[in-house]
Amino acid sequence: MQNAEVAKLFDELADLLEIQGANPFRLRAYRNAARTIENLPESVGDIIADPDRDLTDLPGIGKDLAQKIETIVETGSLPQLEELREQIPAGVVEMLRIPGVGPKKVAALYKELGIASLDELKQAAEAGRLAQLKGFGKKTEQAILEGIDHATEAGQRVYLAEAKPDADRIVADLSRLKSVKQAAVAGSCRRLKETVGDLDVLVTATRSDEPMDALAQHELVEKVLARGETKQRVRLRSGLELDLRVVPEKSYGAAMQYFTGSKEHNIVIRRRAQERGLKVNEYGVFRGSKQIAGRTEEEVYAAVDLPWIPPELRENRGEIELAERGRLPKLVEPSDLRGDVHMHTTDTDGTADVLEMAEAAKQRGLKYIAITDHSKRVTMANGLDATRLRQQWKKIDKLRSQVSGVEILCGIECDILEDASLDLPDEVLAEADLVIAVIHYGLKQPRRQITRRLLAAIQNRYVDVIGHPTGRLLGRRPGADIDYDEVFKAAADHGVMMEINAHPSRLDLDDIHAAAARDYGIPIVVASDAHSPGGLDVLRYGVFQARRAGLEKKDVANTRTISQFRKMLRRRH
C-alpha cells in the first residue's frame, strides 16, 4: 500500500472524528501521522517488513498509531474507520470538498439542519436556511452555494499523482504475464491531465483470460464490476475504476489512439480521415472494408498525413496545425531539470534540514537548489522574519562547503500582502540569491486587487519568480481571479519568471496559462515546493504539466546550469 493511501485514510479518520466532535488532541495526532507518513522518503510497508525497524521510531508515532498503520498496510483498511463510515453518511463527507467548509461546519450542517448530501445542502442554501445557523451568515451561505458545483466535480476525479502510480504498477504487473505481448495506460492518465476520472489499460495477449484473471486478483483491486470476453471493469482500493481491454495486435495502435483521446482531438482525426476517403475507429484505419493501418499509432497518424503527436498535446488546441507544419515541440523531459528552486526546511514547516534537502536533491541528480522558506506572514508555518531569515542564510553559507555536487542558493518565499506590499523590506530581499513572491491570503479579492498585488511584486526589482500564481488547490479551492494578459505583459517587461508549482494539489500555473506565459517570452520555473526529501519526487508532475503546455527544454529556466540560471535572475542585470 502506498504511503499516500495510508495518509489519506488517517486524514479521513480525523475528518470523521471531528464531525463527531472528538477530542482535538486525537485529531491532531491522526493528522500529524498522515503528514509523517506522506513525507516519508521510503515505503511505510518496507519499514514494517524490516525486523530491525520500528514504526514508533518515526516522529509522533506511538504504539497505538503504529498498530493502526500495520493494520492498514496489511488489510487495506481500518475497523475504526469502517465503523465511522457506517455512522456518518457519505454525502456528509462530500460536503468537506466545498472550499472553505471544514469538519466543524459540516458537523453543524449535519447535526443542526439534518443535511446529509450535497443536493440537500444546495436546497437549504437556496432557501436561506444556512444563514440562520450560528457562525454562518449570508456571506458564508452564498460562498457554500457557489462551491457546491466545485465539490461535485472534485468528487468525480483524483489527482494524477494518485492515479498514475496505480495504473503504472498494474501495467507493469500485466506486462510480466506470459500471454501478454503489449500493455499500456491510455485515457486522460496517458495524456497526463492533472486530475483523472477513471483509468484505461490496453493489452494485446495470446489469451484474454490470463490478464483478466490477474487483474481480478491484483492487490490494488477491490472488486470486479463487470467482465466480458475482451473487456473487464474493476474498482481499485483507491475508489478509482479501471477498464481493461484486450485488443488484437493489428488494432493495438488504433485502440491506443482512440482510447487516449481527447474526444476533441479524435473528432479532428476522424474528419481528416473522412476527407481522405478513410474511416478511423478503435479497430483500425479502413478504406472501405479493408484495414490499411492500426498496428501502431504512427500508422494511424500517417494515414491522415500527420506525424505522431505526443499524447499530452492531444486536446485540439493547435497541435494539429503544428503537426501539419512540422512544428511539433520537442517536449521537456523530467531528466532535463538541473535544479529545484522552491523548497522548505525545519526552519519553517518542513520536515528536514538544509543538509538533508541538499543530499536528497543530489541523490535525484539535481545540481542546485534554493532554500525558500516562508516569510513571517505565514504564521501557521512559523514563517521567518528578517532576523531569523538572515540567520538561516548565514547557516547556509557555512553549510555550503559540506555538500559537494549541489549548490545551495539562499532564497525566500515572500508573501504579497493584501495591501500589495511585500512581507519583508527591500534591504532584506536584496541580500537573497532568489526571491519567490506568492499570494497565500486574500485570494478571493476582486480581479483588480489581485492583479494590482501581483503587478506590485513584479515591479519590485528583487523579485525573481511569481510562485503558484493563482493559489488554487485542485478540487478544494479555485484560483484567484487574475488578469493574465496584464500580469504576463508586466512579467515579460520586468524579467520575472513564472512558476509551475509541481505539488499534485497545485500544478499552478495550469497548462493553458503556462503556454500563454511562454508565448509572452516568460521563462517558466518547474519547482517542487517540497517540505520533505520525498517531496522532491513530485517534480515530474510539474514537468508533466509543462509538457501539456507544449514547453520545450529551452522554455524551462531550471533546465539550465547554475551559472546560466543565475544570469536569469533580475539582480544580475
pLDDT one-digit tens code per residue, 178-187: 999 999 999 9
Residue 324 has a pLDDT of: 97
Q: Residue 152: which of 84, 99, 86 has the closest Cα?
A: 99
Count of CA atoms in the C-beta half-sphere (13 A) of 51: 0
Task: Name the pTM for this structure.
Answer: 0.81
Rg, C-alpha atoms of the chain: 25
Collapse the DSSP code of 58 into the 3-class scheme (helix H, G, I; strand E, B; otherwise coil) and give the result: coil
**Quick one: DSSP state of residue 480?**
P
Determine the distance from the C-alpha atom of residue 253 to the mean position of all C-alpha atoms in its chain, rounded to a whole number: 29
Calculate the dihedral angle through the C-alpha atoms of 267, 273, 277, 280, rounding to the nearest 10 degrees. Answer: -80
Residue 251 has a pLDDT of: 97
**Quick one: DSSP state of residue 479?**
P
- For residues 39 and 535, the answer to whether their CB atoms sit within 8 Å is yes
Domains identified in the chain and CATH numbers: 3-154 (1.10.150.110), 158-246 (3.30.460.10), 252-324 (3.30.210.10), 334-572 (3.20.20.140)
Strands 241-246 and 231-236 come out as antiparallel
How many Å apart are CA 194 and CA 506, to the nearest integer?
9
Which of the four pLDDT bands, split at 50, 70 and 90, describes residue 573?
Answer: very low
How many Å apart are CA 425 and CA 462, to the nearest integer?
10
Output the nine-digit C-alpha cell for 431: 541580500
Residue 237 has a pLDDT of: 86
Residue 426: is its pLDDT beyond 70? yes
Count of CA atoms in the C-beta half-sphere (13 A) of 140: 16
- For residues 27 and 107, the answer to whether their CB atoms sit within 8 Å is no
Q: Residue 396: which of 352, 353, 340 has the closest Cα?
A: 353
Question: How many residues make up the chain in this entry?
Answer: 573
What's the pLDDT tens digit per position in 80-91?
988 998 888 888
Q: Which residue has the cell 534540514?
A: 353
Residue 263: is its pLDDT beyond 60? yes
- Please name every residue paired with 117 in a beta bridge, in sequence order, or none if there are none: none
Residue 325 has a pLDDT of: 96
* Range of lowest pLDDT (109-118, 328-337, 343-352, 451-460): 109-118
Residue 314: is its pLDDT beyond 70? yes
Q: Residue 494: which of 453, 448, 455, 436 has the closest Cα?
A: 455
What's the pLDDT tens digit per position in 530-561?
999 999 999 999 999 999 999 999 999 999 99
Residue 476 has a pLDDT of: 76
What's the pLDDT tens digit per position in 51-75?
888 999 888 899 999 999 999 888 8
Treating both helix axes as pointing N-terminal to C-terminal, what angle do 539-548 and 511-519 enclose, rounded to 10 degrees? 70
**Quick one: DSSP state of residue 53?**
-
